[in-house]
Amino acid sequence: MTLRRFMREGFAIESLRLTRANVQAYTMRTMPQKVFVIGLDCATPELVFDRWADLLPNLRRFMVSGVYGSLESSIPPITVPAWMCMMTGRDPGDLGIYGFRNRRDHSYDGLAFANSRLIEVPAVWDVLGDQGKQSIVLGVPLTYPPRPIHGLLVSDFLAPGVDSEYTYPPALKDEIKEIVGEYIFDTREFRTDDKAKLLSDIHAMTRQRFQVARHLAATHPWDLFVMVEMGPDRIHHAFWRYLDPLHPKHCPGPPFEHSIRDYYVALDTEVGRLIATLDSETRVLIVSDHGAKRMEGGICLNEWLLQKGFLVLKRPADCVTKFQPELVDWSRTRVWGDGGYYGRVFINIEGREPQGSVPLSSVESLKAELTEGLEALGDENGRPIGTRVFRPERIYGRRRNVAPDLIVYFGDLYWRSVGSVGHNTVWTHENDIGPDDANHAQQGIFLMADVRDLPAAAAARYAQLQPRRADLSLYDVAPTILTAMGFTAPDGMGRNSVVGAPVSYGASVYSEAEEEELARRLEDLGYL
């Protein structure tokens, strides 16, 4: 059952005391005046609901008195596009965005960074704005460059920096500077060996984001407030080896053994401070776009394609080399791939790509061959790793722009996709872009309750938890917000949505220097 049906039809929710018999009366009596969404990028259900539930009294309050459970993410479970999938109720195929950087066209080198101008369907704050409701949006990925909304908007970590126009209205950035000084979009130098400084930077970023949220919520009118904090994602990628004894590079003991646990405790405290400032009639949702799991290694996708004869280079790479179109003999190449937390596979199709070599009549058989080979690929010792291959035409309602021909979860996301060549092996346990401890997991978190129903943190610490739900979807969050505020989600918002024609990437929103810096940052973070 979707969250939207859940709220509309009034099936029993012990924490909200809804039943079929009293749902209409209850809805009229308890309609929240406001909705506040706290987004915690990469917050992981196994840590929040299981391992540390007793250490997180403010999150536990929702588990005692609200609705909570694992939240099925988009395919792929990547920050971009997952957050905008959540806020629009559309899948990546509907949005035409499959990652941070996408093929602009069917050329080999036409790549473009995703940005807010590609979002041509309404986000939840747009729907509410049409109804005269005001929203504050803080740090939601894919909101740069800022677009006018009925309210306030602070762009996400894809903004070039504090000198850019990263707020709507533009004067808002002056207010933010007065409150916190230089605004922190994201941690810098993520691959640093100075783990202590990185840990300090992550905490500082999180404290500042919540400070800005408390300030904006207290000093500006709003009906909907949506914020996203990137700290959980950054700390997982940098420190997971210290947490997980099954990690191949596990480092037990001090000084970082409890770094993730202590961060979650600090995050829980920030959540509690924020909730304490909210009106009792506010409904609060705490969500993440995906979870995290240990990274056991990398599969060198293009190396595998080279070994199988699908990909042909003009000359062998004698050292590890970033994959570039000019390296490839396209007349003899049938398939190439892209790296990141998941793999993207592209077929060199006659009449579609400039030097296409695969007849259209052979595409389906080639997809089947690739799927069989990739899913059968084990680790370096031949042990199965559980790779999953998805066909976009089967998982998306529609494929706008240039979708991958196949999407690959190596080892069910325990292994990342490595796009570079010159490894002379399919398997690697050294990341080609630097240390990275974690990959993304398909399940994020969802918690929801009205502020007035939340028990005190001390009481929640020992109270019995509500049943944990297992049927929640990222695509249901936007309709749930609208339903909670008494509005009907527009057609297409939610599961099984279908939208119109492809969008145009147009001119880049970044300068050439900004694009180079953005590429460096995204590679540093493991997204490319």
Return d(Cα 162, Cα 518) in angstroms, integer.
14
Burial 7-26 (b: 16+ CB within 10 A, else e): bbebeebebbebeeeeeeee
Percent above pLDDT 90 for the chain:
83
| C-alpha distances in Å from residue 156, one per residue of 112, 127, 184 | 18, 21, 10
pLDDT, residue 192, reads: 81
In this predicted model, what pLDDT tens digit does every residue of 332-368 receive, in sequence order? 999 999 999 999 999 999 999 999 999 999 999 999 9
pLDDT bucket at 269, cuts 50 / 70 / 90: very high
pLDDT, residue 333, reads: 98
In this predicted model, what pLDDT tens digit does every residue of 270-279 receive, in sequence order? 999 999 999 9
384: preceding bond cis by omega (within 30 degrees)? no
Q: What is the mean pLDDT of residues 21-33?
A: 46
pLDDT, residue 353, reads: 98
Rounded to two decimals, the pTM is: 0.90
pLDDT bucket at 432, cuts 50 / 70 / 90: low
Percent above pLDDT 70 for the chain:
87
Which residue did the predictor score with more confidence, 224 or 1? 224
In this predicted model, what pLDDT tens digit does every residue of 6-19 receive, in sequence order? 443 333 333 332 22
Burial 158-173 (b: 16+ CB within 10 A, else e): bbbeeebebbbeeebb
Examine the pLDDT at 434 and tell me if it is beyond 70: no
Return d(Cα 100, Cα 115) in angstroms, integer.
8
Number of H helices, E strands in the chain: 17, 20
pLDDT, residue 114, reads: 93
Q: What is the mean pLDDT of residues 402-424?
A: 97
Locate 446 and state its tokens.
Answer: 């969802």
Tell me if 486 sits within 8 A of 467, measured CB to CB.
Answer: no
What is the widest separation between alpha-carbon atoms in the chain?
A: 72
Return d(Cα 214, Cα 103) in angstroms, integer.
39
pLDDT, residue 97, reads: 96
In this predicted model, what pLDDT tens digit does every residue of 470-494 receive, in sequence order? 889 999 999 999 999 999 999 889 8
Examine the pLDDT at 467 and tell me if it is beyond 90: yes
Pair type for strands 291-294 and 167-168: unpaired
Examine the pLDDT at 377 and tell me if it is beyond 80: yes
Q: How many CB atoms lie within 10 A of CB 448?
A: 27
In this predicted model, what pLDDT tens digit does every residue of 152-211 receive, in sequence order? 999 999 999 999 999 999 999 999 999 999 999 999 877 788 999 999 999 999 999 999
pLDDT, residue 12, reads: 31
pLDDT, residue 188, reads: 83
pLDDT, residue 376, reads: 97
For the chain, the average pLDDT equals 89
In this predicted model, what pLDDT tens digit does every residue of 491-528 receive, in sequence order? 889 864 433 334 455 566 656 676 666 556 656 665 55
pLDDT, residue 90, reads: 96
Examine the pLDDT at 34 and tell me if it is beyond 60: yes
pLDDT, residue 527, reads: 57
Q: What is the mean pLDDT of residues 244-272?
A: 97
Which residues contact residue 123 at a Cβ distance below 8 angstroms, ignoring those fewer than 6 apart? 84, 87, 88, 478
